[in-house]
């Protein structure tokens, strides 16, 4: 933590003041954006021993150190790496801890490109990939094999928002000598600190809420003390560092993430609750709603909810789904989330083997942005009317 005592303060104070210490750099409030490959050494002995803080651009700069320190303070982690996208943040730790002949358990409601990486690259490298039910909880023990090295979780799950019993999963995994990784992008470390719940490695698409403006791609991976060395060694071996401008933009985004998330949370809950009462909506898949089957687990472990959830239409198919999407005027049709603007996407569950329903009708995922709630409700009402008459 950059400034004495900030660690024990409120979350918005910490977001405003963590990472860099302005007085390390002439008092400028923000850290320098260091564009670097070469770092000079004062003499041959220092070069041979690499006995200085910075040695080469891929291995860290004052800019990456500032963001890593801020994220470590939020996550309670021993170290954080920054990579060029959220998907790279999924890939690097899996490559760091899995070898040919190992078995990995991945939650079935995982972000689709994570599944694609596992089904293509990991399988090609000789790793046994198996998907588990997001509601497995302690029962995951029955799936663990002698060669299980990693359990990969994402909670709530992508698109269908099942909440997992992370402490129970971590207990079973650790008892068998496996480690637990969690894609924690939905909650951010403000609403869930995975390492406090037994997770070893916390993964974020910082592209989403930390960046917050749909203009940056970045991933972060934070490890506990036991896993940090191996994660960092793999990161250095691969040379997949993030660019300094993107790292800086995410640190900039962190300063306002608390107030933005609070707004996303309130608007999303208001709209989700309203949608539950709308004709044409069979279910709203938002874990902070009391009607959600995993609401109890969410309440036990999470400190808040973010701005993305799904709705299930009351019957119909792709025609109704497309009619709703095409009628929207404020919600954009586009992938990703966590930015200031509202988005809607059709949900595809064809890749799932376990967490695939049945659902009453097609699913649509909504990212609730920072616009005024009444305007967003008007837009959604227009979409539901279009679906009803399709
Ligand atoms: C849960 C989750 N993890 C990871 C990612 C990947 O992030 P990026 O778009 O930065 O590759 C996404 C992107 O949508 C996501 O939803």
pLDDT by residue, tens only, the chain of 390 residues: 445 667 779 999 999 999 999 999 999 999 999 999 999 999 999 999 999 999 999 999 999 999 999 999 999 999 999 999 999 999 999 999 999 999 999 999 999 999 999 999 999 999 999 999 999 999 999 999 999 999 999 999 999 999 999 999 999 999 999 999 999 999 999 999 999 999 999 999 999 999 999 999 999 999 999 999 999 999 999 999 999 999 999 999 999 999 999 999 999 999 999 999 999 999 999 999 999 999 999 999 999 999 999 999 999 999 999 999 999 999 999 999 999 999 999 999 999 999 999 999 999 999 999 999 999 999 999 999 999 999
Same domain, 182 and 116: yes
Q: Of how many residues is the chain composed?
A: 390
Same domain, 158 and 19: yes
What are residue 223's phi and psi, to 5 degrees? -120, 155
Domain containing 346 — which CATH number? Answer: 3.90.1150.10
Domain containing 163 — which CATH number? Answer: 3.40.640.10
- Which residue among 236, 253, 270 closes a domain? 253
Q: Which atom from ligand 1 is nearest to the alpha carbon of 206?
A: 10
Buried b or exposed e, range 272-285, using 16+ CB within 10 angstroms = bebbeeeebbebbb
Same domain, 81 and 230: yes
Same domain, 283 and 369: yes
Same domain, 290 and 227: no
Indicate whether 233 belongs to any domain: yes
pLDDT attached to residue 8: 78
pLDDT attached to residue 2: 47
Number of domains composing the chain: 2
Ligand 1 lined by 85 (C-beta under 6 Å): yes
Indicate whether 290 belongs to any domain: yes
Give the Å distance between the CA of 336 and the centre of ligand 1.
Answer: 7
Ligand 1 lined by 161 (C-beta under 6 Å): no
Give the Å distance between the CA of 16 and the centre of ligand 1.
Answer: 25
pLDDT attached to residue 4: 61
Ligand 1 lined by 369 (C-beta under 6 Å): no
Indicate whether 307 belongs to any domain: yes
- Which residue among 253, 276, 298 closes a domain? 253
Where in the sequence is the domain holding 99, given as residue range(s)?
A: 6-253
In the beta sheet, which residues pair with residue 80?
A: 222
Indicate whether 30 belongs to any domain: yes
Indicate whether 1 belongs to any domain: no
Mutate to test the pocket of ligand 1, among 207, 221, 345 (most ligand atoms within 8 A of CB): 207
Residue nearest to atom 5 of ligand 1 (CA): 86
pLDDT attached to residue 1: 42
Indicate whether 363 belongs to any domain: yes
Same domain, 67 and 169: yes
- Which residue among 253, 282, 312 closes a domain? 253
Give the Å distance between the CA of 126 and the centre of ligand 1.
Answer: 25
Q: Which atom from ligand 1 is nearest to the alpha carbon of 336?
A: 14
Same domain, 224 and 367: no
Ligand 1 lined by 184 (C-beta under 6 Å): no
Predicted TM-score (pTM) of this structure = 0.96
Same domain, 284 and 320: yes
Mutate to test the pocket of ligand 1, among 84, 86, 93, 116 (most ligand atoms within 8 A of CB): 86
């Amino acid at each position: 933590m950059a400034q004495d005592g900030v660690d024990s303060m409120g979350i918005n104070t910490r977001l405003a003041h963590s990472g860099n210490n302005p007085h390390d750099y002439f008092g400028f409030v923000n850290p320098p954006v260091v564009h670097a490959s070469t770092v000079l050494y004062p003499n041959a002995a220092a070069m041979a021993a690499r006995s200085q803080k910075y040695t080469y651009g891929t291995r860290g700069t004052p800019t990456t150190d500032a963001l890593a320190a801020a994220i470590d303070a939020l996550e309670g982690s021993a170290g954080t790496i920054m990579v060029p996208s959220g998907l790279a943040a999924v890939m690097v730790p899996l490559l760091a801890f899995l070898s040919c002949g190992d078995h990995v358990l991945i939650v079935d409601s995982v972000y689709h490109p994570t599944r694609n990486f596992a089904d293509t690259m990991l399988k090609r490298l000789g790793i046994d990939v198996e998907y588990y039910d997001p509601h497995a909880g302690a029962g995951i023990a029955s799936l663990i094999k002698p060669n299980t090295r990693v359990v990969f979780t994402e909670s709530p799950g992508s698109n269908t928002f099942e909440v997992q019993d992370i402490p129970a999963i971590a207990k079973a995994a650790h008892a068998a000598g496996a480690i637990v990784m969690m894609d924690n992008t939905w909650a951010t470390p403000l609403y869930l600190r995975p390492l406090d719940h037994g997770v070893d490695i916390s993964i974020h698409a910082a592209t989403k809420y930390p960046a917050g403006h749909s203009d940056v791609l970045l991933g972060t991976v934070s490890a506990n003390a036991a896993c940090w060395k191996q994660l960092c060694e793999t990161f250095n071996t691969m040379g997949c560092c993030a660019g300094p401008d993107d790292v800086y933009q995410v640190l900039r985004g962190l300063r306002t993430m608390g107030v933005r998330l609070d707004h996303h949370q309130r608007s999303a809950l208001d709209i989700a609750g309203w949608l539950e009462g709308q004709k044409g909506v069979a279910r709203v898949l938002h874990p902070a709603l009391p009607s959600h089957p995993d609401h109890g687990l969410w309440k036990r472990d999470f400190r808040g909810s973010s701005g993305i959830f799904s709705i299930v239409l009351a019957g119909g198919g792709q025609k109704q789904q497309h009619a709703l999407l095409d009628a929207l005027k404020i919600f954009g049709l586009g992938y990703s989330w966590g930015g200031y603007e509202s988005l809607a996407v059709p949900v595809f569950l064809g890749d799932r083997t376990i967490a695939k329903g049945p659902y009453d009708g097609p699913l649509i995922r909504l990212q609730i942005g920072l616009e005024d709630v009444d305007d967003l409700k008007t837009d959604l009402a227009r979409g539901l009317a279009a679906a009803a008459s399709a």
